[in-house]
Structure 1
Amino acid sequence: MRLDKLLYCLRFARSRGLAQRWIAEGHIRRNGTRVIRQDQPVGVGDVLTLPLRSKVLPIEIVALPERRGPAAEARECYRELDGVGASAIAGEQDAQEEGPALP
């Protein structure tokens, strides 16, 4: 699936045009590499780094959406990597050593 269409279907961009502009400006990373082509293919298992208003959000694609559906349907297609208990960026041991365990 094209990256611009994926960002639109996952509801990170309000339009494909906006997604294409983010990509062309170099704001999106795929598997740690800056993406500047809007037709960049994205598949299951890819990690995208998205700059949002107040934070940078790394996500892993777990399924490709068939359409731009409701937000709940879109959230099932990715998982956030910097959430509570997520340790995909740093190893689990690193996350436990940095601070106290969360209940």
Structure 2
Amino acid sequence: MTSNGPRQRLDKWLWHARMARTRTAAAELIDQGYVRVNGKRVEQVAKPVSAGDILTIALANRVMVLEVLGFSERRGPYSEASQLYRLIEGGAPAPESGPQESGPKK
């Protein structure tokens, strides 16, 4: 599923796509094992993602499965961020989900 086209660090992509409130929170999601790329658990926050990659993200009260469609040079408003992915399963993310909302509840 990975192409030879443009790529971006996973933590930066999650932040730009507004899956986490801060880039640090995005890195914590990855470090804690709540993110998979193409079905494989990610262990590096700097793992590059490409258009077409399938991400599985475990958030506080839902699991989202989405396809990476593109990249952004900056973190824009939610309307721009939603253009970076196609939701496959799990419902729309709440805008600005923060670190306290990241990851499954224990």
* Structure 1, unaligned runs of 5 or more: 85-103
Compute the RMSD of aligned alpha carbons. Answer: 1.4
Kindly indicate whether residue 67 of structure 2 is the aligned counterpart of residue 73 of structure 1.
Answer: no
Over 6 Å off, 4+ runs:
none
Question: When you count strand as a share of all residues, which structure comes out higher?
Answer: 2
Question: TM-score with structure 2 length normalisation?
Answer: 0.75
**CA radius of gyration, larger in:** 1
Per-residue deviation, residues 42-93 of structure 1 (Å, max 9, x unmatched): 0100000011222100000111122100000000110100279xxxxxxxxx
Relative contact order, higher structure (CA 8 A, sep 6+): 2
Counting only pairs closer than 5 Å after superposition, residues 1-103 of structure 1 correspond to structure 2 as 1-82=8-89
| Alpha-carbon distance in 2 for matches of 1:83, 1:53 | 12
* Structure 2, unaligned runs of 5 or more: 1-7, 92-106
What percentage of aligned pairs have identical amino acids? 43
